[in-house]
Chains A and B, each alone.
Chain A
Amino acid sequence: MTYQFSWTVLWSGQTGAWLLQGILVTLQISVLGWLAAVALGIISGAFRTVPIAVLRWLAVCYVEFFRNVPLLVWMFFWYFGMPPLLPEAMREWLLDHGAEFWAAVCALGVYHGARFSEVIRAGILSIPKTQFEAAVSTGLTVLQAYRLIIVPIALRLIVPPATNETLNLLKNSSVALTIGVAELTFQTRQIETYTAKAFEALAAGTIIYLALCLAIATIMSRVERRVAIPGMIVRGQSSEF
């Protein structure tokens, strides 16, 4: 038994274009999902620490519900569960204009939003309580204190775990293939269908994900160094990447 490797299938014919298309779609859903996740994460992470019980309770519900239901289920929910609730004309329009793409963005956004929320909460909790008290005592409202002082500091503290979460989000975007989004993993499977070269296709997918993640990690480590607050997160430059 010998398996004949033929790496040329990865760039001959249409396969190269498919891989590029897959990378593009993966990046699109990841970036849009990431923006949604960060926005939701900041809001609910901040809510969890404010001295207003209703908001805290609301944020706890959001986090626990959305992070404890599998991502796959969220994909199915946004794709199969949401459209029937919309009016007929809107549904048809949406289904004709890439409903699966937006369902994937929503699923990634709310799921990772709940996870980002915990990261941001941890960041906020690591800021000494006196900082908040000092902010309020200068006459700022709670909203202003959060918007101008607490959240900006927290965001500068949470870069390492946020990088982690971002990398997870990128890789989790592959779950979107279950609802038919033609992202990177989908395209590697398609190459396998056309060429029956499963190992080559999988290896290409693996290397591309690895490269994308390494690129993100590199950028984020630059960001980390630039925004670090001396005395709060930097402890020498030993973590050189």
Chain B
Amino acid sequence: MKRIYFFWLISLLCIAAGGSSQAETTLEKIDKSGILTIGTRRGSPPFAYINQNNDWVGFSIELVEKAVLPALSKKLNKQIKLEKKESTPQTRIPLLTANSVDLIAETMTDTQARRDSVDFTLTFFVTGAQFLVKKGSPIKGLQTIANRRVAAQQGSTNARIVRERVPTAKLLEFPDQPAAFQALAQGQVQAYTNDGIQLAGLRAKAPKPDDWAVVGDFFSYEPYGMAMRKNDSDFRQAVNVGLMDAISTGRYFEIYEKWFGPKGEVPYPLSAETKRFLQMQVVPK
């Protein structure tokens, strides 16, 4: 019996050690393979999703293709290819740590706790938590959800805020958007909270968008960043330079317009304040 425990301890330790013995920097890895591997989502429109033509696209992905890849190609003096892998809130940090992906480009909020485990690029999108409800619902925002059944996505920052600020709300956490939306559509819950932009995306993709409403003031601040392994500042610098170039040359705003403009997938106008904030992240050359 003792030996079995011992065997388990050893194998666990091996798994743990395997993750941390790595000398190569990310730039060296990319230089060697010629491939940048990103972790992204299949079901988070319009940031990263499978579209009607079965292509894996989205704002975050296009940002990597048009801003990050050129910067990396320039830095390493060779054409870098992109490879996409599915990541979820639960797997994205382990995927990075295990070297399975080099960059998380989806809808990951930059937080102080996460910065203990990974590093983030500059902020590439700003949103805040809101509620998706059936049109005409009495729920109007965070003040009106006490004693109501509210869905959230597991592993999201919003669930945490609801739990802390309105402990009387009955919070139900689902692993993905489709399950949470199904629960809302069936009346299992009366509201679904997530980042405002994701709710707008979900509403736009719903069979009858007009049946749904995104309500409430932002009750959280959700700056999206791309995450990478910690203490790899050369790679971080290369990615940030790509993003800064895209913002200063205006290419970022073209991509933004394509996805979030009036004719985009999910109309979500850029406020003057946010635009200014994005521009001020660009440091001089």
Considering the chains assembled together, what is the distance between the CA atoms of A96 and B172 in angstroms? 11
Which of the candidate stretches B203-211, B226-234, B256-264 sits at the interface with the other chain? Answer: B226-234
Q: Which of B135-182 contact A (CB under 8 A)?
A: 149, 151, 154-157, 159-160, 170, 172-175, 179, 182
> A199 with B94: in contact, given A178-B174, A179-B174 (CB under 8 Å)?
yes
Q: Which of B90, B111, B179 makes the CB contact (< 8 A) with A189?
A: B90
When A and B form their complex, what is the total count of cross-chain residue pairs whose Cβ atoms lie within 8 Å? 102
B residues in contact with A100, CB < 8 Å:
172
Complex Cα spacing A198 to B111, Å: 15
Q: Are B1 and A180 in contact (CB under 8 A)?
A: no
The answer to whether A197 has its CB under 8 Å from any CB of chain B is: yes
Contacts of A80 in B (CB 8 A): 182-183, 186, 188
The one of B91, B97, B149, B173 in contact with A186, judged by C-beta atoms closer than 8 angstroms, is B173
Partner-contacting stretch, out of B113-121, B242-250, B266-274: B113-121
Instruction: Tell me whether A196 and B174 are in contact (CB under 8 A).
Output: no
Residues of B within 8 A of A190 (CB): 154-155, 173
Contact between B113 and A196, CB atoms less than 8 A apart:
yes
Q: How large is the interface on B (under 10, 10 to 19, 20 to 34, 35 or more residues)?
A: 35 or more
The residues of A that contact B111 with a CB separation of less than 8 Å are 196
Q: Does residue A193 face the partner (Cβ distance < 8 Å to B)? A: yes
Q: Complex formed: what's the CA distance from A206 to B16 in Å?
A: 13
Q: A1-B229, A186-B173, A189-B90 are in contact. Are A196 and B16 (CB under 8 A)?
A: no
A91-104 contact mask (Cβ, 8 Å, vs B): 1 or 0 = 10001100110000
Instruction: Let me know if B6 is at the binding interface, CB within 8 A.
Output: no
Task: Name the contact of B149 in the complex, choosing from A95, A206, A207, A210 (C-beta under 8 A).
Answer: A95
> Would you give the shortest CB distance from A191 to chain B, in whole angstroms?
10
**Interface residues of A, Cβ cutoff 8 Å to B:** 1-5, 76, 79-80, 83-84, 91, 95-96, 99-100, 177-180, 182, 186, 189-190, 192-199, 202-203, 206-207, 210, 241
Interface residues, chain B, with chain A CB atoms under 8 Å away: 1, 8, 12, 16, 19-20, 22, 25-26, 89-91, 93-94, 97, 99, 111, 113-114, 116-118, 149, 151, 154-157, 159-160, 170, 172-175, 179, 182-183, 186-188, 229-232
Given contacts A1-B99, A80-B188, A186-B173, 5 further A-B contacts (CB under 8 A): A3-B97, A80-B183, A96-B149, A193-B157, A195-B116
Closest 9 CB pairs of A and B: A180-B172, A196-B117, A196-B114, A193-B155, A1-B229, A1-B22, A198-B93, A198-B94, A3-B97
